[in-house]
Chains A and B, each alone.
Chain A
């Protein structure tokens, strides 16, 4: 997302909910948004990988985003969605509680997360790495996620 912020002063973000918090990822990474379908469990995978689904004939891995970033998980509901994202050559589904809207955010309104909360704080260090910044839209806070970290591609980041 960093590159796009540099390229233009506005970024478009798909905003979604995890519990009561609002999160966002760049719209350029989003392929589509799907309703929850049958998920086939895959053995010997990290807990946050829910399994695989059938996306029009191809096999798509799905991760539970709440589990991935260390939030307590709960039952899926009517509003649960799978956001299909593509990062480099990896396509993956992310389970979120609800997709809210597409937001246009001025890059000036995005604060570096590390400036607000000290990364020295070991308690949150693990989940901190997933966050690339905070978007502040008239007191509505949107947590911007670092997809490289979420997919474990951190070495290629930036």
Chain B
């Protein structure tokens, strides 16, 4: 069977199941009696086993099989899910994760060493006093070969109902052969249901299966030993049937016998009437399987699409927006009313299209959050701390690209909170706090942004300590330190080369952490801030844009060059005269509504060469803000507000800080997008 086309599906679904295994194991750890959790764990493990066996990843299938043995005992209350067992189950899930990752990377999945795990799992399963249950599945398979051997000698008899005979006769008349096929599976076969299903579908292609013993439902539920019988009506030769079936893996033997009905069955009418209830199973065989199959696929409500397809869709919509803008301009310059009207219609369609594409790309932030319960659990054990993680707002949606990037910074923040923030239980008690520390992960919408917060009720940070540390490391000067407010001092942790922990641990505190977190967040167009209170805890607040690809921007002229300033950071625009510019200690400022705002001359900041044929005696100031800081950007002309599609400048030009990207304007010209935060520095 060519499985490559199912690979993607397999990977996606395995990941889902692994995730759910992780989650439910955490539940089980909290409440070992949680029967819902154990049932779901069992189901996930079972499905995973089935999928991996079908795909031929035996190592995964074997490990899940061993897990299942243990899970089965827990499910049947023969075994108590104590800490050790849950630990081993967690480790098994980790090993599975690794194997699935290997499969994804194209490496052999069995390069992960699971011997120790398998031994432990088996020890748990067999060490149990009611070990017979654990063995039941192995018993079954060891007993089966005997059955199979018996079957071989036993004559190939199958009970035929009159209806079967009727069908066989009819088939014979139309030149088909009726065969009695006995399929014997290999003893090592783990997933008999899957194999039987594959056999059935192979047979369906060769002809019609009119009867199976045991009936199809039982086959699906593995209610059979190693062999089963079917009656097949087919035009094919026996050899072909045999070779087809032997082509399926884990099939040990196929026995075929042509059914010869000596005499046309003389069916007494009475008997016929009595039979149908028994005879029926043959027809629904296929249908039932089909339905079952659909259930497994979870219906047609959702489609998995590769992210690269969405990206190119996004790009195309971006192109469309650009061309629409171009048409708009043509309509306006040439005053073609009809065109302008049509473009207005088109505008509505494109903005709908755009918002749908955006929505498609939106993923609930829970996808990132759901790995944290596990991270927190492991870390708490490692650090010997007691921590309770609360997650809020996991349904908040963010652009896929943001989701992909946000994971690592969050791991870092959470680790930080647990390592530096939350105190040891004894210390907490001494401080009069509950032994169990609280770490919170909260997401919510705020206007056009998403806020993600990592909170803890730990020791908080000491501004004075941070300031001294920064001084000592030469990150700031004494003068800086003296003029620093507490909140400014705390923000020093985001500077490169800063680490507050004296002891460098494996968990956090390598001195690169917070700086990297900040850089990642800023690269996503976000901002990170921190609030802290001694002994009450810290709050890290990340503000992220909803989407990255299309933004509203104000286009401005500097000489003849056009730049785009993201609208999100613009406060207001104002038209001033040169007299309005005052200087304070040689820094140019303006006063707007009583507020003193420093200004940046964009032509100087960007070394714009003066153009000979450009003159403008007007001065425009675009007031921008980052956090609570404001700044006026001096430009020559305001062109207007426009929706722009952000494009990167590419690898060769990636080092230019003040430019965050570029966009193609309606006339095909390229305008650069300013990074306001950098410009203000």
| Residues in A lying within 8 Å of B, measured CB to CB | 37-38, 40-45, 49, 52-54, 57-61, 89-92, 151
Interface residues of B in 618-670 (CB under 8 A from A): 647-653, 656-659, 662, 664, 668-670
- Which chain B residues numbered 184 to 210 have a C-beta less than 8 Å away from chain A? none
Chain B's closest residue to A39 (CB) is: B670
8 further A-B contacts with Cβ under 8 Å, apart from A40-B669, A44-B656, A59-B650, are A42-B653, A43-B672, A44-B607, A52-B653, A52-B662, A54-B670, A61-B649, A61-B650
Whether B653 lies near A61 (C-beta < 8 A) is yes
B residues in contact with A151, CB < 8 Å = 652
Q: Is the CB of B647 within 8 A of A43?
A: no
Q: Which 4 A-B pairs have the closest CB atoms?
A: A43-B606, A40-B670, A59-B662, A59-B647
12 A-B pairs in the complex with CB atoms less than 8 angstroms apart: A38-B668, A38-B669, A38-B670, A41-B608, A43-B606, A45-B656, A49-B653, A52-B649, A52-B653, A52-B672, A57-B318, A57-B322
Residues of B within 8 A of A58 (CB): 647
- The distance in angstroms between the C-alpha atoms of A21 and B650, with both chains bound, is 31
User: For the complex, what is the distance from the CA of A38 to the CA of B669, rounded to whole Å?
Assistant: 7
B670 A43 Cβ-Cβ under 8 A: no
Residues of B within 8 A of A43 (CB): 606-608, 656, 658-659, 672
Closest to B315 in A: A57
With the chains together, A52 CA to B315 CA distance in Å?
19
CB of B495 within 8 Å of the partner chain: no
In the assembled complex, how far is the CB of residue B432 from the closest CB belonging to chain A, in whole angstroms?
A: 55
B561 in contact (CB, < 8 A): yes
List of B residues within 8 angstroms of A54 by Cβ: 664, 668-670
Nearest-Cβ distance from residue B555 to partner chain A, whole angstroms: 13
Q: How large is the interface on B (under 10, 10 to 19, 20 to 34, 35 or more residues)?
A: 20 to 34
Kindly state the separation between the CA atoms of A42 and B653 in the bound complex, as whole angstroms: 9
Query: Which single member of A37, A38, A41, A60 contacts B650 (CB below 8 Å)?
Result: A60
Most A C-beta atoms less than 10 A away, residue of B648, B649, B652, B656: B652
Q: Is the interface of B mostly helix, strand, loop or mixed?
A: mixed
B562, B648, B650, B658: most-surrounded residue (chain A CB, <10 A):
B650
Residues of A within 8 Å of B647, CB to CB, are 58-59
Q: Which residues of A contact B315 (CB under 8 A)?
A: 57
Contact count A vs B, C-beta below 8 Å: 71
Chain A neighbourhood of B659, CB < 8 A? 42-44
Q: Is the CB of A59 within 8 A of B664?
A: yes
B669→A57 contact, CB < 8 A: no
- B316–chain A nearest beta-carbon distance, Å: 9
Q: Which residues of A contact B648 (CB under 8 A)?
A: 59
Contacts A42-B656, A52-B653, A52-B670 given: A57-B607 contact, CB under 8 Å? Answer: no
Q: Which residues of B contact A60 (CB under 8 A)?
A: 650
Q: How long is the Cα–Cα vector from A89 to B669 in the complex, in angstroms?
A: 24
A151 to B651, CA, bound (A): 11
Q: Is B403 an interface residue (CB 8 A)?
A: no
Q: How far is the CB of A61 from chain B (nearest CB, A)?
A: 5
Q: Is the CB of A53 within 8 A of B670?
A: yes
Q: Which of B562, B652, B657 contacts A92 (CB 8 A)?
A: B652
* Set of chain A residues within 8 Å of B113, measured between Cβ atoms: none
Given A52-B662, A57-B664, A59-B664, does the pair A42, B649 have CB atoms closer than 8 Å?
yes
Taken together as a complex, chains A and B put the C-alpha atoms of A60 and B656 apart, in Å, by: 15
B512 touches A (CB below 8 Å)? no
Rounded to whole angstroms, the CA-CA distance of A131 and B561 in the bound complex is 35
In the bound complex, residues from chain A placing their C-beta under 8 Å from that of B658 are: 43-44
List, in ascending order, chain A residues with CB within 8 A of B653's CB: 42, 45, 49, 52, 61
Q: Residue-by-residue, is B301-326 near A (CB-CB < 8 Å gives 1, otherwise 0)?
A: 00000000000000100110010000
B656 contacts across to A, CB distance below 8 A: 42-45
Residues of B within 8 A of A53 (CB): 670
Task: Determine if A90 and B650 form an interchain contact, defined as CB atoms under 8 angstroms apart.
Answer: yes
In the assembled complex, the Cα of A60 lies from the Cα of B662 at a distance in Å of 10
- Bound complex: CA A42 to CA B322 (Å): 21
Min CB–CB distance B652 → chain A (angstroms): 5
- In the bound complex, CA of A42 to CA of B664 (Å): 14
User: What residues on A are CB-neighbors of B650 within 8 Å?
Assistant: 59-61, 90-91
Q: What residue of chain B has the Cβ atom nearest to residue A43's Cβ?
A: B606
Distance in angstroms between the alpha carbons of A40 and B555 in the assembled complex = 14
In whole Å, how far is B593's beta carbon from the nearest beta carbon of chain A?
A: 32
B671 at the binding interface (Cβ < 8 Å): yes
B561 and A40 contact, CB distance less than 8 A: yes
Chain B residues within an 8 Å CB radius of A57:
315, 318-319, 322, 664
Contact yes or no, A59 B652, CB < 8 A = no
B608 and chain A: residue at smallest CB distance: A43
Distance from A93 Cβ to chain B, minimum over Cβ atoms (Å): 10
Contacts of A91 in B (CB 8 A): 650
Complexed CA–CA distance, A15 and B637 (Å) = 44
Query: A90 contacts B651, CB within 8 Å?
Result: yes
List, in ascending order, chain B residues with CB within 8 A of A40's CB. 561-562, 662, 669-672
**Which parts of B547-593 form the interface with A (CB within 8 Å)?**
561-562
